[in-house]
A and B are shown apart, each in its own frame.
Chain A
Amino acid sequence: MTSSDAVSVTPTLQFDHVEVAYTVRGIDRPVLRDVSFSVMPGEAYGLVGESGCGKSTAAYAALRYLPRNGKITGGQINFEGSDLVSQSDEAIRLLRSKAMSMVYQSPIAALNPSLRVGGQIAEVFTIGGAGKAEAHERAVAALNKVQIADVGKVMQRYPHELSGGMAQRVVIAMALATNPRLLILDEPTTGLDATVEAEVLDLVRTLRADSGTSVLFISHNLGVIRSMCDRVGVLYAGQLVEEGNTAQILNDPRHPYTVGLLRCIPRAGLRKDLHRLDTIPGSLPPLGTVITGCVYADRCSIATEQCRTEQPPVVQLVNGHSSRCFHPDLAPDLPRNTEVTTVEVVTRAPDTEGDLVTLAAVSKTFGKDSSTVRVLTDIALSLGAGETLGLVGESGSGKTTLAKVLLGLTPPDGGSIVQLDGKALGATIAGRSAADVGAVQIVFQNPDSALNRRHAVRRIVGRAVVKLGGATKEQGNAKADSLLSEMRVDARLHAAKPVMLSGGLKQRVAIARAFAGNPRLVVCDEPTSALDVSVQAAILNLLVDLQRTENVSYLFISHDLGVVRYLSDRIAVLYLGRIMELGPAETVFSGPHHPYTEALVSSLPSIDGEATNRVRLLGEVPSVANPPSGCVLHTRCPRRDGSGVEELCDTVEPDLVEVEPGHLMRCHLSLEQLRRLQVAVDVLM
């Protein structure tokens, strides 16, 4: 750590060769190894890495709030120059209540479910010695600061009555209530919608600019890190492998791990048919492994004998950029693990023979009589064989319900048309033939929930073969073995239960099951959102390969627009159960797009740091039970004001019309009008 330019300034937080270990079954297992970094006053420092690399441990160590079996076994953690490790518990408590605070990943879990929000915020001030009335007043002020609209009402609510974004604002308000000098944010937007994420990040940015608070920002999302942080440290297996300012790390990475990680990410401009994602071989060493050489040597394609036996030094590059590698100069040209491209162009012209799946006038209403909620309204879609349709929209937009209707898990309203190969599909599973059920399958979001933990992997897949293909048990198991091997699940694991597999392997099993009944359409419901990026890349590659060999169609649901853009031929944008825009992926992304799509796209934090036109949706998603009149977006539309058709927007619902060949939009504004507005902003930025 060369404190080159800032000799006189004391860092707000400084890790000095910190070692942290967890005691598991009587043995100390190191989780942080020789970690050194510092967060300067007013600086935002990002820690990135995949799950299990020690990010959160670093955060807890900074607050000296490790789990009971965790301890700091070496080094110093300095807060404004004084060592935290040696201080008394009482002194630490005081520091935590006044000088530093933390925002956790799950805001709902961070709030006490049985107390009203207002009381919980006020408590922060009463602990600080304020009277009841004063505490209340300051709580109101704190909520105002995080831009909550109806503060009085929000104070009276219980945490479960808040949306995720609102709850995170409340948590941030509590964290900032005491004007801390250090704010630690641990994955604060993971699990939030992209639009909400953008708002929360905007808020943190504004508050930081106002207060000058130092921020330690922990995230696995490099796009978020790019938009939030001045400097970044990359953690791998508890070691800081690379450090530098954000642009250096993301544009010119000098550690093989960082290079590999960046290549795994499907970013703008990459397409499934042109650019195969790179993957990182192997996996994180298990917690507590004794490592003699470089922590990354086992997975590094340029590792030498020296890397396996000797700890690499921290090599200083230019301007505070450092890499813990013997060969930082070779890292940018790291050989790929997958071929760069494998092009037989997959992008399909819409099938002239007729579509594989046709949806027309599909609606779904829950409840009956007076209390009905219409979650899908008049959906019309078609999907060609071998085509991927991306389905995007905020949570509550009806994505999952649409998937369930297709699968036959939820019957649509009468009059809805769901066809496969031109023949009507039964509304429920019971009304479909085994072949039809097998033809439409799903890969669920969370493999832990989707695989029965009591059953062996072979049985999970084999049973599907038996039931959907009419095979005997022996045939089913044999087919299961070959399917699993095809998904590259090692033969030795076919008899294993899901617990023994990593997240990526579990998802491979789930994919094998979906392919057991010779599917024509596979619904992918956020299949990679629970996985790390390097694993995600491997799964996405597998899906692309399967599509090529099996000519299967995908309905790909995801909130990760980068992934959707990479994988989809066409994209449908859903809002409050209606298709707002439908068109070829690149057209939908590059614009001119529907105002709602525009807001979604501009909320996507980009790793490449290109200027995005920052259009934000106003307010919260209206309730599906009580959708706004006219165009359902008009209450939040970024383009309504000054469009000249406000009256129309508020009263008449626009139809989904073809604005250019193959590109449908539900908006009163003309394509030309949108193009002008959207270009204008791009220029302005």
Chain B
Amino acid sequence: MTSVVNDAQVNGAPASDGRMRAEQEAKSRRNERIRFLLKKPSFIIGSIISLFWLACAFFGEAIAPQDPFVQDPINKLKEPYGAHWFGTDNLGRDVFSRVIVGARLIVLVALAATIISAVLGTILGLVAGYYKGKVDEVIMRTADVFMSVPTIVLALLITSSVSSKSMWVVILIIALVFTPIVARTARASVLGEAELDYVAAATLRTEKTPHILFKEVLPNVLPSLLVEFTVRLGYAIFAIATLSFLGTGVSPESPDWGTQVATHRGFLNGLNVSATLFPALAIASLSIGVNLLQDALSEAFER
């Protein structure tokens, strides 16, 4: 199925066409994953949703049709109509604009937390999986301790004990909780990888351990880490939305989706639906978008 270059030229056989065929094949192999992804509806839909919210996160004010902070008490709690596509909230602010601008907090916090946990988790996992033995035991048992505490409970515990309600607290908490999970994935892939002879070959040319870990082993475990990254991103979004719904982490006036849902759910009994519905839909859509991406990526890389 996969034609590869062979010993043809070694024996001076008519190999030129065989070689060209192999080169073409190799080129197409490089693009095979990309072509696979571009044909996958889940990848396309997931990308569109995720990119849309990413754009909102960075350019929210420019995209939003109105100022999300301007209050209009006369027109409060309106269902969608011409001037306000998603209606207005309890202070008469435009829900559509608040949803757009509200993407910033959740997207940036989720990305930052996931990136930190991915970097730390990868390093810990590489070290644990490569050295094995005592190093592995210490790292992984500590990780087990962290993983045994439910994320939300730990987060509530910490946010209620620190006074500052900054984004960084939430970022660090989520990073702290996710790091051992990433580490576990990284370690599992490294365990198999470190047994391969190319690692021994690297030590046989006097490579130092960091070079072996990051230049030799890491590129080979990157696909599974990329998949893990998107999985974590999905969970981070969920965790942040939950935390802000529970009222921890961010200040109440910021146009944040979880906070919006929490504030307006009291009006659901007949007064107003859209001020709760649209932020909730935003959370769901971002979560679904990232999960679709993750689905497509894991299929592309783990086939």
Interface, chain A (partner B; CB < 8 A): 22, 24, 29, 279-284, 286-287, 298-299, 337, 407-409, 429, 434, 437-438, 441-442, 444-446, 449-455, 463-464, 467-468, 488, 490, 492-493, 496-497, 499-502, 504-505, 508, 513, 516-517, 535, 538
Contacts and interface: CB of A to CB of B under 8 A. Distances in A.
Contacts of A464: 205
Nearest to A510: B201
Given A490-B19, A499-B4, A538 B198 contact: no
A297 to B, nearest CB: 10
B216 interface: yes
Interface in B195-231: 196-198, 200-207, 216, 219-220
Contacts of A449: 196-198
A329 to B, nearest CB: 24
Nearest to A488: B10
Given A449-B197, A449-B198, A452-B220, A504 B10 contact: yes
B164 interface: no
Interface centre among A438, A454, A516, A538 (most CB of B within 10 A): A454
B254 interface: no
Given A286-B3, A437-B205, A496-B5, 6 more contacts: A281-B12, A281-B13, A442-B201, A450-B198, A488-B10, A538-B10
A451 B25 CA distance: 20
Interface in B245-264: none
16 contacts: A29-B1, A282-B13, A283-B7, A286-B3, A407-B204, A409-B200, A429-B206, A437-B204, A442-B204, A444-B200, A452-B216, A454-B220, A468-B205, A501-B4, A535-B7, A538-B11
Contact of B11 (A280, A287, A408, A429): A280
B161 interface: no
Nearest to B25: A500
Contacts of B206: 429, 434, 437, 467-468
A407 to B, nearest CB: 6
Contact of A409 (B25, B26, B204): B204
B13 A299 contact: yes
A91 B24 CA distance: 45
- Which 9 A-B residue pairings sit nearest by Cβ, starting from the closest? A281-B11, A283-B6, A282-B13, A281-B13, A502-B6, A286-B3, A454-B219, A450-B197, A467-B205
Contact of A467 (B4, B8, B198, B207): B207
A668 B206 CA distance: 45
Nearest to A284: B6
Contacts of B10: 279, 488, 504-505, 508, 538
Interface string B11-39: 11111001101110110010000000000
Contact of B23 (A298, A429, A492, A502): A492
A501 B201 contact: no
Contacts of A409: 200, 203-204
Given A282-B11, A282-B15, A504-B10, A451 B198 contact: yes
Name which of B1, B4, B25, B201 has the most chain A CB atoms within 10 A of its CB.
Answer: B201
A444 B197 contact: yes
A337 B197 CA distance: 33
Nearest to A459: B215
